[in-house]
Amino acid sequence: MTSPRKHGITTTLLHSDRLGNPEHGSLHKPIHTSIAYGYDKAEDLAAVFQNRKKGYAYARQSNPTVAAVETKVTALEGGTGTVCFGTGMAALAAAVQAFLRKGDHIVASRYLFGNTASMLNTFALTGIDVDFVDATEAANVAAALRPETRMVLVETIANPVTQVADLAGIGELCRARGLLYVVDNTLTSGVLFQTRNVHATFSVNSLSKHFGGHGDALGGSVTDMGTCDWTRYPNIFEAYASADPAQRALLQLRKKGLRDFGGTLSAQAAHSLSVGSETLALRLERSCANAQALAEALAAHPAVGAVHYPGLPAHPQHARAKALFRRPGTLLSFELRDAASTFAVLDRLKVAVLSSNLGDSRTLVIPVAQTIFWELGPERRREMGIAESLVRVSVGIEDTEDLVGDFLQALG
């Protein structure tokens, strides 16, 4: 395991490029645009290919600008190393592709980002079986385990109804059974939640969301949390089985997940994400405070029927969220008593933007059943606890009174 960070997260993120000795004392890691790297000695080129020497060969699998972001994510998540990808979906797909084989089984939360659920259903067609369970109770995960189960995949705070998985209980279960525990930390990030505290194997992030924070670049990451003894994991390819055990999974992820499938993060996007991440902790402080204020205002409004936010005492996992997370997050959802008035209320918003993204500096709002969860159909939505009139709000960093005032005027 690595030692904890020497400085706080903002100090670490701000200074990490400079401390890596970039060219000319540059404060940002430069954007390296070359996709290939030249060597003077054939032996050096061979050593890089054989993983005996650090170096760059072809940018599909590594690039100096991307490597600088990987260093930042590793520090943020508190892991031993990170591989970045072009999107969060590419990161999640790689974590599955690189470590599971035909006949293996995954237990996943029933409350998942819609595209992640869709992706797992696609894997199920190729011989990696999937069961979806209510992950707010570790017992449900335990009941779904089979001899061929190798992985459990959950999100910290589920989007859009904000259920909080039994992260610690599932972590204990995975540790006892030798299962890979993949925690999608996108909604919380290393600022609000350290997945190592629940023995996660991999911490996955969509960097497109809070990390970058400005809605201008896509990216994803998988961080090895250093909690797994890779000498005991069966699905390690022979080519990587002789590598340092601590590096084995990262090497396999980079080769089998990134090199072979090509979901590469561009240097330009890496730069945008890196600059955005400098204010990550500051933005989260503000948007979590805004989310709490908005959730309380909505819950007190007579037109609102239900508000889902882990920071409200009435939330079913309020105590768990309080115990696990530094703050209860930036995402909330609500239902109006008069479901038929939902679109009219949304149309009256002037500050919040009708948009499908989340984790942006701006507050974004979306009616869920008619958009991001439309393809799943009404039955699956019911299973996931998504009401047809549910509205999701990704709370941004606007001035609190402007934001709360906007929703109150829209509700009328």
Ligand X SMILES: *Cc1c(COP(=O)(O)O)cnc(C)c1O
Dihedrals phi, psi of 130, to nearest 5 degrees: -135, 135
| CA end-to-end span of the chain | 54
Shortest CB 4 distance to ligand X, Å: 26
Which residue, 94 or 236, has its beta carbon nearer to ligand X? 94
The closest residue (CB) to ligand X is 88
Chain positions 333 to 372 lying near ligand X, rule: CB under 6 A, are: 358
Which residue, 202 or 233, has its beta carbon nearer to ligand X? 202
Shortest CB 71 distance to ligand X, Å: 20
Which residue, 114 or 169, has its beta carbon nearer to ligand X? 114
- Smallest CA-to-CA distance from 113 within 174, 171, 156, 168 is with 156
* DSSP structure string for 36-97: B---S-HHHHHHHHTTSS---SBTTT--HHHHHHHHHHHHHHT-SEEEEESSHHHHHHHHHH
Which residue, 83 or 358, has its beta carbon nearer to ligand X? 358
Shortest CB 155 distance to ligand X, Å: 5
Which residue, 185 or 252, has its beta carbon nearer to ligand X? 185
Shortest CB 59 distance to ligand X, Å: 20
Q: Distance between CA 117 and CA 134 in Å, rounded? A: 13
Which residue, 209 or 248, has its beta carbon nearer to ligand X? 209
Contact string (CB under 6 A) for ligand X, positions 95-134, x = contact: ------------------x--x------------------
Q: Distance between CA 198 and CA 168 in Å, rounded? A: 5
Q: By CB under 6 A, name the one of 17, 104, 184, 406 that touches ligand X.
A: 184
Q: Is 194 in the site for ligand X (CB under 6 A)?
A: no
Asked if 2 and 78 count as a contact pair (C-beta separation under 8 A), the reply is: yes
* Identity of the residue numbered 40: D
Report the side by side order of strands in the sheet with 391-394: 304-308, 331-336, 391-394, 364-367, 353-354
Q: By CB under 6 A, name the one of 149, 162, 186, 277 that touches ligand X.
A: 186
- Smallest CA-to-CA distance from 385 within 116, 134, 115 is with 134
> Count residues contacting ligand X (CB under 6 A)?
16
Q: Is 56 in the site for ligand X (CB under 6 A)?
A: no
Q: Is 62 in the site for ligand X (CB under 6 A)?
A: no
Largest Cα–Cα separation, the chain: 74
Q: Is 159 in the site for ligand X (CB under 6 A)?
A: yes
Shortest CB 240 distance to ligand X, Å: 26
Q: Is 195 in the site for ligand X (CB under 6 A)?
A: no
Cβ-based neighbours of 246, under 8 Å, separated by 6 or more: 80, 226, 230
Chain positions 71 to 90 lying near ligand X, rule: CB under 6 A, are: 87-89
Which residue, 220 or 310, has its beta carbon nearer to ligand X? 220
**Which H/E stretch holds residue 293?**
helix 280-299
- Chain residues binding ligand X by CB under 6 A are 87-89, 113, 116, 155, 159, 184, 186-187, 206, 208-209, 218, 220, 358
